[in-house]
Every structure is written in structure tokens, then in C-alpha cells.
Amino acid sequence: ADIVVLPGDGIGPEVTAAAVAVLREIARCFRHDFEFASHDIGGAAIDRHGDPLPAATVGACRRADAVLLGAVGGPKWSDPGAKVRPEQGLLALRRELGLYANLRPVRPHPATLGAAPIKPHLLAGVDLLVVRELTGGIYFGEKTRSVDAASDLCSYSTFEVERVVRRACMLARQRRGHLTSVDKANVLETSRLWREVATRLVRDEFPDITLEHQLVDSMAMHLLSRPRAYDVIVTENMFGDILTDEASMLAGSMGLLPSASLGDGDGGAAEGQPGDARAGDRSTVIGLYEPIHGSAPDIAGRGIANPVGAILSAALLLRHSLGLEAEALHVETAVAATLEAGIFSADLMPEGRAADTDEVADAVI
Amino acid sequence: ADIVVLPGDGIGPEVTAAAVAVLREIARCFRHDFEFASHDIGGAAIDRHGDPLPAATVGACRRADAVLLGAVGGPKWSDPGAKVRPEQGLLALRRELGLYANLRPVRPHPATLGAAPIKPHLLAGVDLLVVRELTGGIYFGEKTRSVDAASDLCSYSTFEVERVVRRACMLARQRRGHLTSVDKANVLETSRLWREVATRLVRDEFPDITLEHQLVDSMAMHLLSRPRAYDVIVTENMFGDILTDEASMLAGSMGLLPSASLGDGDGGAAEGQPGDARAGDRSTVIGLYEPIHGSAPDIAGRGIANPVGAILSAALLLRHSLGLEAEALHVETAVAATLEAGIFSADLMPEGRAADTDEVADAVI
Ligand SMILES: CC(C)[C@H](C(=O)O)[C@@H](O)C(=O)O
Ligand SMILES: CC(C)[C@H](C(=O)O)[C@@H](O)C(=O)O
């Protein structure tokens, strides 16, 4: 399998190196042939090519079986007047590849409950999956800027809502069959569309799924007060961005959480066209895998970043893009064993001697 | 003083009745003359007048010294196809009165830490104030809807950002002098405007204030992992909506939290016009006071709602609209004593015999 690696900025190169080392070990043990090729994205690509998403990077991703990404961004490129920004590269890649469904599983590990700000008794048994819409909404709408005003347009089509809710339903079917759709339907028109489409789709195509609607503000609360009540949560791009960072606190550290961004396996060809591309019917789809944490410029280059989010992203890559379920489970089990052994990076262990990035990766391997 | 009471829907009438009883007691003890007049808003106003914000209500609010509101909304009026919605009444009132700054203080009381999902050691000493922009952004932008698409426009002008950040700075000056401005400047054009304006305003007008910028996703995380690090947090309308509901979990229950919505005391006359109306220079301003909780239709009419959010909103009314600081402190002290005495409504006491709404109010009185 051909795997494109996009290290990106900050701690990106450190954590992807750890994840690649784990994948190499999987290839060795299970006798697979994984080829890795690194390409530039984000700030690193701006510095080298003046473009946060060079054409060569997109081309390589399209030809690959899967893409593993670190993180993008940093103060170096965040000047308010900057013409290009690292984040544009990531956003454009998600869109180019048609990766409309961003899966962010949150399953707090008993060993890391100490690091979570949430009371442990609320966390036992929490196992939720946020499916964030990733190629629409206010992230991609028209923007305007004048001397004394600015605007961002949030828009959604029925097609865009349907496909991501359908994907969430399929995932819910493989889990506990419960779907929570999050919107702000008491204020936003896009949310009213979202709620109508979700309601109709579940009624017509997934009568076996129980659907609940939550307003985003009240979800931000319930995620903390009763996290066990949720199974699959589906929501639009911006709400998903906020809620998943919040949800990471259930796990103890953002550094622990992986994500998978999936399309329909057609490289985004169906983008914007109403159709019935049934996502998930095929066992492998093109996918981009990245930890949910950012580039953490404050600790970059020090070798102390938590590689678990990136390593678990590699596990999702094995599962979703390569169809290697046993191998994925192998990685997940090794991560669990590492955490059980108390091998924690600094984010999980503010005091005492923490393990560095390589030590965590070696323990997993 | 003339106080307009807008009970609204669900538990709104129950909690405003409790808050009015407390205000009557303050009037008696301190020999003030408070006149109360109730008017319709929200679902109740739709039922009676076919309009969530009847002209008579707006007129009464304009003539009043302050407005005390319960909550609006409920499933009865939430049909997706509904032509008018209760929330429109509240949004229109905020806008009509020019109440652009929504103050939501969060100061967890030691007695209620048991009810919070957050670990107690993180909460000791937390004292933050969220200043949410309340009359702009995606809540009020143009909306479109067609058969298969919808849109909401988010826009901000320099003027709108300046006045709310200025208000936040003035409040920070009376506190610990630290301001955190929350945006999503790595993606949104409105957020880049927000960040530029906040940076310039603090530099030029408030050099004594320390300003920090946070991305909304990372704020959703840090609010839980290090809530003590924040003093005043200023943000746009939608982000403020989400973050304050999340922040309510620091206090133990959303039912505890009050809010004050303030303008420049000109009834919104300056709305939309660049000008230098210096908010906060006057000691009393027109204001709308409401608990941050919703109408909670599931428990409405049972007399078990937590009146503390509404009662503390009445304290804010005394402070900000009537300039009665001693009286405001009196109410806040009485609430603290009630909580210390373990007199908890059901939201704070899922097991055991909880106090009902009247019992809590009587204890405060
Ligand atoms: C870097 C940024 C554009 C990105 C986003 O907001 O989508 C990040 O926060 C994420 O959640 O993946
Ligand atoms: C009722 C609703 C329109 C309102 C809002 O979103 O502003 C409420 O959630 C609030 O926070 O006051």
C-alpha cells in the first residue's frame, strides 16, 4: 500500500515519525508492503514553495491508498495581514479529496482518567464518536472584507447534509444504534435544513436508528454532564470543531485523540452533485488521518509531544483505508497497554518524569 | 423604579416570580419603590397575540428602568415549518434595545462543586466573566432557504467589535485586568477583523489590560483544563452562546447562572452608527436580565426549577440598571448563604429530597 505522509508544522513531523515507525512494525509483523512518501503541506510548504498545498502534494495524495497528516499552522505564518495561511492548505486538501466525514472517536482510557478535568465516575464507559461535516459550512463559504467590516457565509445543501448523516447512521448501526444530531435550529436557517434532512433520512433509510436532536449550546453542556448518554454525534463543520476539542477533555488530553476524514472513495468526484453515492458500502475508501491536536509550536522540536493521537490515527488508517481490521486492533491494543503501563508523555503527566515521544512510540512498538 | 417582567415560556414564569419576590423584599428592606409590570414575549406572546414580540412589550421595555426576563421557547412552537418562533421575540428585543454586551459571570460556589462534572481542585478560585456580543454575527445576518439549500450570513463591522471589546476592557479594569479574546481567526474573515480590532483597541485605549487571543476550539478545551487562568473573556455571539453553556458546568448547574445584557443606555439609538458612545461611563444603563438557562419544558409547571439564575439576574439588575450596589451584594450574599445551608433544587441534587422553587426563594428572602 502507498501511504503519503504530510508531516506539516510544529510537532507534526515528530508525531508522524512515531506513527510511521508503528506502521513499519505492523508491516514487518503482518508481512505487508507499505511504501511511505513524504510531501509538504501548511507552513512548511509555504516556506518551500510559497503555497500551503502544492500541486505535487495533491497529486500524490490522489494516487495514494491513504494519507497520514501531522498538523499545520504556527505563529510564524499567522500574521493578520498574511496572504496565505498554513490552514488553507489543509482545508483545500480536505475539500479536494472530498473528505466530507471527519470521524473523531472519544473513548477515555481508564489509565488516563487522572489527567482529565472531568470527574472519573462520569467517564466510566464513555464511548462516543463525533462525525463532523468537513467540507462545507462557514469554513468554505464566501468571505468578504472591507476597511470596516467582514463577513463569512455559512451554507449547506441537502446533498451535503444527507451524505454525512448517512455516513453517521451507518457507523451508528455498527455501534449502539443511537444518533445525536447537533444544530442551532432555533436560530439558524442552515440548522433548520440540517434538522429536516436528518429527520427525514433517518425515518426513510434508517428506521432502526434512534435519532435525537440537540442544540449546540446545550450539547456543549451535556457532553460534560452526561457523556455516557451519547453514541454517535453528527454535526456541521464549525460545531464539530468546537465540540470535539471540548470532548477531548473527556479523554484527558487532546494529544490522545485520532481522527479519520473520509469521502466516498471517488476522490471527491461527486462533490456538490446530488447523487446516491452510498458511502461506506465499500470496505476501503480514500482517507486522511490526523491527530485532532494542533501543531503546538510551544513544544515543537523538543521531542516531548504525545504521539498517541497520531499512532491511533494510523490505526484508523489501517482500518478504514486498508481494510486491515486485525492490524488496527493490534495497534489500539498496544497503545492501551502502553497507557496501562503508565508510560505517559508530558501532557498527561505535568509533574514527575514523563516519557518523551520516542519512548512512548517504542513502548507501543 | 419601573421594572418590566417578561416571564416567557416553560419555567420562565416560575423563576421570574421567585426573582420578583426577592426584589420586593429588597424594596421593603431598603425602602425603595419598585413597580413591576408583566408583558408577553416568546411562545406565550405567539399564543396570545400571534407575535413573539408585541409592540406593547417593546414600548414598555423602552420606558422601563430595567427588564427581567425568564426564558422563551418550547416544543409547542418548534415545528420546523413554523412561521414565527419564540426565539425571534428575544432576538428582536435584544436588537431593538441595542443590548450588544451580554455579561455572563461564572463563579462556582464551594457548596455546589459536588454537582459540577469538573474536578473540584480545578474550580477553587475560578471567577470569570464572559462578555458575549449579542446583537450581531450569524444570529442576525441574512438567511436564505430554497428547496435543497440554506444559508446564514455572519458579518461584523469594526464598530460592533469595538464597542463590545471596549465594554469588556472596562469590566476587566474593575477586575484582574486580563482579557481573553476568542475567535477562529485561522479560518474566518470576521474573526480576523475581530482580532485586529481587539488588538488595536487594547493597544490604543487600554494599555493597562493584558490581552490574549484564543481560538474557539482550543478555548472550549482550556475552559475545562485551566478555568482559573481566565478573567474576562470576550467573544462573538455564536461562540459566546456555546462557551457560556459549557462554562455553566464549572458552576455545577446552568440553573445557577445569571446574565445581564447591556447597551449604551440610549435604547439602541447608536445601533449601527459608528460613534464614540462610551459604554459604561454612566452608572446606570438600560438592561435586560435573564438566567442563562432555557425554558426547560420538561420540568415546567412543577415548581421545581432552580430560581437562583433568575434571582442572581435580579442582583445584576440592581447593580447595573439601578446603580444599587449594596442591594445587589445583599442578594448575592443571601444566595450564597442559601447554598451554604445546602438548600438545593433538583438540578443540584439528583438524589434525595431537593428544595422546590419556592423553598429556595424563601430561603434567599
Ligand atoms: C487547523 C484548523 C483549520 C482545523 C479546523 O478548524 O478544522 C483544526 O482546528 C481541526 O480541528 O482540524
Ligand atoms: C433562546 C436562544 C435564541 C438564546 C441564544 O442562543 O442566544 C439562548 O440560547 C441564550 O443563550 O440566551
**pLDDT value, residue B286:** 78
Cα separation of B1 and B314, whole Å?
Answer: 13
Q: What is the pLDDT of residue B100?
A: 97
Query: Region A150-178: what's the mean pLDDT?
Result: 98
- How far is ligand 2, taken at its centre, from the CA of residue B245, in Å? 10
**Partner A, chain B 27-56, Cβ-Cβ below 8 Å:** none
Q: Which residues of A touch B122 (CB under 8 A)?
A: 117
Which of B183, B246, B351 would best serve as a mutation to test chain A binding (most A beta carbons within 10 A)?
Answer: B246
Domains and CATH numbers, chain A: 1-112+253-365 (3.40.718.10), 117-251 (3.40.718.10)
Q: What is the pLDDT of residue B23?
A: 98
| Residue A217 Cβ < 6 Å to ligand 2 | yes
Report the mean per-residue pLDDT for chain A: 93
Q: Is A151 in Cβ contact with B154 (below 8 Å)?
A: yes
CA dist A254 and A292 (Å) reads: 7
- Any ligand 1 atom below 6 A from CB of A246: no
pLDDT at position A166 over 50: yes
- Using CB atoms, pick whichever of B224, B248, B294 lies closest to residue A117: B224
Beta carbons within 8 Å of A89's beta carbon, 6+ residues apart: A41, A42, A45, A46, A51, A52, A53, A57, A72
Task: Reply yes or no on whether the pLDDT at A13 is more than 90.
Answer: yes
**Residue B299, SS3?**
coil
- With the most atoms of ligand 2 within 8 angstroms of its CB, the residue from B91, B134, B248, B293 to mutate is B91
Per-residue pLDDT at A278 exceeds 80: no
Q: Whose CA is nearest to atom 6 of ligand 1?
A: A241
pLDDT in tens, A208-235: 999 999 999 999 999 999 999 999 999 9
Report the share of chain A in percent with pLDDT over 70.
94
Query: Quick one: which of B243, B217, B248 has its CA closest to B108?
Result: B248
**One pLDDT digit (tens) per residue for chain B, 365 residues:** 999 999 999 999 999 999 999 999 999 999 999 999 999 999 999 999 999 999 999 999 999 999 999 999 999 998 877 889 999 999 999 999 999 999 999 999 999 999 999 999 999 999 999 999 999 999 999 999 999 999 999 999 999 999 999 999 999 999 999 999 999 999 999 999 999 999 999 999 999 999 999 999 999 999 999 999 999 999 999 999 999 999 999 999 999 999 999 998 654 444 444 333 333 333 345 799 999 999 999 999 999 999 999 999 999 999 999 999 999 999 999 999 999 999 999 999 888 899 999 999 999 99
pLDDT for B80 equals: 72
B28 assigned binding-site residue: no
* pLDDT at residue B270, as a whole number: 44
pLDDT band at A266 (very low <50, low <70, confident <90, very high): low
Chain A residue with the nearest C-alpha to that of B143: A189
pLDDT at B64: 95
Q: Confidence band (pLDDT; 50, 70, 90) for A272?
A: very low
- Is residue A49 pLDDT above 60, yes or no? yes
Neighbours of B6 (CB within 10 A): 29
**Model confidence band, residue A279 (pLDDT cutoffs 50, 70, 90):** very low
| Whole-angstrom distance, CA of residue A150 vs CA of residue B153 | 11
Beta bridge partners of A288: A67, A261
Each residue of B259-280: pLDDT tens digit? 999 998 654 444 444 333 333 3
Distance between CA A213 and CA A114 in Å, rounded?
Answer: 32
Nearest CA to A250 out of A365, A95, A124 is that of A124
Give residue B266's pLDDT.
56
Distances (CA, A) of B40 to B7, B8, B47, B268, B305: 7, 6, 10, 21, 20
Residues of B identified as active-site:
139, 184, 217, 241, 245
Is B337 within 8 Å of B311 (Cβ atoms)?
no
Interface of A with B in 159-178 (CB under 8 A): 159
Where residue A68 falls among pLDDT bands split at 50, 70, 90?
very high
DSSP assigned state of A2: E
A85 is in an annotated binding site: yes
Q: Work out the pLDDT band at A19, boundaries 50, 70, 90.
A: very high
Using CB atoms, which residue from A118, A141, A184 is nearest to B117?
A118
Give the distance from residue A349's alpha carbon to the nearest chain B alpha carbon, in angstroms.
Answer: 13
